[in-house]
Structure 1
Amino acid sequence: MARKGRRKGRWARILGGILILFIALGTAGYAWLAQSKAIATIIRQSIPFAATDPKETFHGDELTLLILGCDEDYQDNAALLGQKVRKSAARSDMVMVVRLDFVKKKITGLSLPRDLGVMIPYEGKVGRHKLNAAFAYGGADLSKQTVEDLLKIKIDRVIVINFDAFQQLVNRVNGVEVVADKDLEYDDNAGNLHIHIKKGPNKLMGYDAMCFVRYRHAKVAGPGDDDFHRQQRQQVFLSGLKRAVLANWTDLPEVINIAVNIMGGGLNGEEVGSIAAFAKGVEKFEIGGLPVRETSGTMLRLDEDKLPAVLQQYNLADGIQPDRTQG
């Protein structure tokens, strides 16, 4: 079981938090504006979103997103004085499909294991590769095509998460205050991740904030080292983030711009605001995992027998064959 969990990828374990993040930012701004119509009238023009009806914003009753998180695949660059730059061929370490149903008022999603074996065209041939290779071979477009063909659904937008912008956002609101339920200690030299956060009240700046939402367990797991407690910490962080955003309301336009950057430009400010207003009426997000079968190798296999029921459960049972004739 541990092996299967690791294969989901470190970012896949926080998939709910990432989606909630940009929705929370937009919701915070929307809620603040709603408190005072007079103030809203004055500054609304400077805020890069408006709470428009999502069916009008996206010209349909639903929106399907493919969310990708790149791994920490870096190369040293001496010309940049020792800085590290992301390789253009970095693989996607998180792959998630999210559907926002504006009629049913539901937000659902599926995590796709990065090690899932899928058919991908590469160098003029179509062969079986791991799902995360699609991003390295053909970027967001090939990832979109691969997931559409796999699930027989139509992807409307692709979001490539920018984790550097996440840190920038936290710094812009002068940090986020949280209360850690325990000492969070974890070092991963290979992944360039070093988490050292003490139990109790903390004011987290960019890097430590990312560590706080990423932490799952120490090298030797103990009490509080599981996905349930991590989700609780993410909720604590998001509550603190909303407080910080509202406390720095004069910076709201820039904060929303950074939130848009976190999503790699996959959604603009108006679209984020529209989704945020919609999300206020959604009681919970239903996020699950794609059914897979363990194999003796490093590549997982899709459990096609269980797939139809899972797609139905998460409101993704379209059976739509993507139309390649349209961009």
Structure 2
Amino acid sequence: MWKKIVFGVALVISIAAGFGVAKVQSTMNTSLNHITRDKDNVLKDVNLDGIHVNSDDKIVNILLIGYDLRKENGKDFGGLTDVMMIATLDKKHNTIKLTSLMRDTLVRIASNNEDMKLNAAYARGGVKNMYKTIAKNFNIKLDGYAMVGFKAFQQVVDKIGGVEAELTESETNYLKDTNYVHGAKNRKKLKVGKQTLNGAQALGYVRIRSDKNRLGVPVKTANGLTDDYGRTWRQRTLMSAIFKKMKTLSLSELIAVANKVFDNVKTDLDNDTILGYIKDVAMMGTTDVCQLQIPMNGYYRDGHQAEFPNSDGWSLVPTNGVSSAYDTSANAAAIKQFVFQYNGKGEFKYKSSSSSSSR
């Protein structure tokens, strides 16, 4: 997502400033070469035989994976992913969309056919298994992936001069009482209300997950969300704010951001493909990002290890919104409607169907 944001805005600014497209493309290629290419995990090569997936030639879906590389001493395989999103470039409706996939969502893992949390898919087969698991449970075709280390997120926020966010009293107190924000000085400067967060503060903010602080007070977002729903809302909201902030930067500033951040990005996409997406984003001329979270409110229930022995504790069990049975069909249908049919105008509302079948 970062590479698309950086270069989409860079292209618009550079053309407006009188730079030649050829020169811009050359500069983009140089920066893109900082990205690690993953030739062993190309999503278009994943065998999806027997799995129905929805797709559209005018809609591009990229899997975004946020990963704390520090957990594995720099190694990026064998751990659990902290952030999973689908970034959609909808050329049919000229919109950019972002779908958060809750990491504790119970799904059928493709590699072992067991019911486990979604973030376990990466540890049990890497990116390809994660894609196959998403396809198996939510019926969506992905066109590539980008893995971004948390270090890159922190760097991009610092490079653009910080990003604005609105912190509630419960969020502020929680961040001051925990070590989510690295550095005592960074924690001390946090306050209630709108403020500009630096990289360390922003990273701590988007990682808040607990639903209560040490005193038992609910940790709520500005719109009243808690736990993982609040966490993914913070992630999507801050990414949208970063996107808008970047359009105020000069070309040289954007390139500086890219050169710094791309050392911490891995993708299966080549330069030509990325540049094509950049041009598409530039032609859209939009900075608004439409958002969806899965599972949706009203279409999940709490699950426990006694019921799902392989879930490693508490999980979010998708339902069809009518019964409490484990059923991913309604959430899969919502993704289809949001990604392929929603035109970006007004609030997205899922239209349920009585024909939704159970697992």
TM-score range relative to shorter protein: 0.5 to 0.7
Partner of 1:198: 190
In the alignment, does 2:258 pair up with 1:256? yes
Paired with 1:190 and 1:213, the residues of 2 have a C-alpha distance of 13
Aligned-pair CA distance for 1:48: 0.8
In 1, Cα distance between equivalents of 2:259 and 2:154: 14
State the shift of 1:109 in Å. 4.3
Q: Deviations over 1:48-82 (max 9, x none)?
A: 16xxxxxxxxx93221222222257625xxxxxxx
Q: 1:176 aligns with which of 162, 177, 200?
A: 162
1:207 counterpart (197, 200, 211): 200
Matches within 5 A, 1:97-116: 97-116=86-105
What is the letter of the counterpart of residue 162 of structure 2? V
2:294 aligns to what? 289
Alignment partner of 2:142 out of 155, 163, 168: 155
Aligned counterparts of 1:182 and 1:289: Cα–Cα separation in 2: 24
Residues 187 and 309 from structure 1, CA distance in 2 versus in 1: closer, same or farther, beyond 3 angstroms?
same
Aligned residue identity for 1:60: D
Number of residue pairs aligned between Structure 1 and Structure 2:
275
Distance 2:96 2:303 in 1: 32
Task: Flag the 1:24–1:212 CA change in 2: closer, same or farther, 3 A.
Answer: farther
Deviates more, 1:258-267 or 1:89-98: 258-267
TM-score (norm 1): 0.65
Change (3 A) 1:42 1:113: closer
Higher strand share: 1
How far, CA to CA, are the matches of 1:109 and 1:235 in structure 2?
10
The Cα offsets for residues 161-194 of structure 1, whole Å up to 9 and x where unpaired, read as 2221223334445x33758667844157686756
- Mapped pair 1:119 → 2:116: no
Equivalent position SS for 1:103? coil
Q: CA RMSD in A?
A: 4.1
| Corresponding residue number in structure 2 for 1:35 | 16
| Residue 26 to residue 213, structure 1, CA distance change in 2 (3 Å) | farther
Structure 2 Cα separation of the partners of residues 201 and 117 of structure 1: 35
Listed as ranges, the gaps of 5+ residues in structure 2 are: 30-55, 306-313, 320-326, 342-359
Q: 1:105 to 1:296 in 2, by over 3 A?
A: same
Q: 2:121 aligns with which of 134, 139, 146?
A: 134
Identical aligned residues as a percent: 21
On the 8 A contact 1:160/1:266 being kept in 2, the answer is no
The residue number in structure 2 matching 1:166 is 153
1:48 aligns with 2:28: yes
> Does the 8 Å CA contact 2:104/2:315 hold for their aligned counterparts?
yes
